[in-house]
Amino acid sequence: MFGLTRARTAAPLVAAAAAASALTAAPPAVAAPQPIVGGTTTTTTDYPFVMQITDASGNQFCGGTLVAADKVVTAAHCMAGESTGGVRVVGGRTYLDGTNGTVSKVSKIWINPDYTDAANGDDVAVLTLSTSMPYTPAAYVSSSQTDVYAAGTTARILGWGTTSENGSSSNQLRTATVPVVADSSCKSSYGSDFVQTDMVCAGYTSGGVDTCQGDSGGPLLIGGVLAGITSWGEGCAEAGYPGVYTRLATFSDLVTAQVHS
């Protein structure tokens, strides 16, 4: 089973899913995932569209966002190598060890056909659920809403990932706010690994607040819309290395076609 969050580790940024596997009992994968560092606890009542993505045994390894009753947007690196029979989506469950909410099997996994690795971009996937979720879906950024990524804009991150680099995952859903980072600054941090058309960075120069292992695939909300997906990064909450998220406006038309298929 692949990692839980973004490929955010000092190890090679291979399949951001690998590091995540360390957060679960699943077999090792490739790069490092992420939970929320420096945030606060919250509930799925406040954020009903936030989904747990688990293996068939119920072990959470990534997050996702409900965008229609039977469609969930997540990261491609979370789904690479997965099969529909091995994945479940859980909605309405604030705690990882809870038994409430709705559990659905997955009938289809769509991975961006251009995806090869989180650090190369194109990190988006759409799951079609066998059981519709009775929760309010998130609004999805349109291809024309590029202004949401203006530097300094406040963004919200959510997940069950670890609360410190290589730490333990959070049993309760957590959230935090981070500012969108200028593309030029993100380029300075990550060099050629930062693909401006496909990625957006968010975080503080001093670090301290970030997504981490296990948060991969979860939402980056800006202005009340799903504008990004937790993808990868160097470590968790490290100064000078903001979190890297899929720039969803770039893939809006592609994803919308899947959501309405």
pTM attached to this predicted model: 0.87
Which letter, b or e, does each residue of 101-131 get, where b requires 16 or more Cβ atoms within 10 Å of its Cβ?
Answer: bbbbebeebbbbeebebbbebbbbbbbbbee
Q: What is the number of residues in the chain?
A: 261
pLDDT for res 109: 98
pLDDT tens-digit profile of 6-44? Answer: 443 222 222 333 333 322 223 223 333 334 788 899 999
The catalytic site residues sit at 77, 123, 216
pLDDT tens-digit profile of 197-222? Answer: 999 999 999 988 888 888 999 999 99
Q: Report the candidate in 213, 175, 165, 196 with the shortest Cα–Cα distance to residue 2.
A: 213
Domain architecture of the chain: domains with CATH: 7-32+48-137+252-259 (2.40.10.10), 140-249 (2.40.10.10)
Backbone conformation region of residue 237, classed left if phi is above 0, alpha if psi is from -120 to 50, else beta: left
pLDDT tens-digit profile of 137-193? Answer: 999 999 999 999 999 999 999 999 887 777 777 899 999 999 999 999 999 999 999
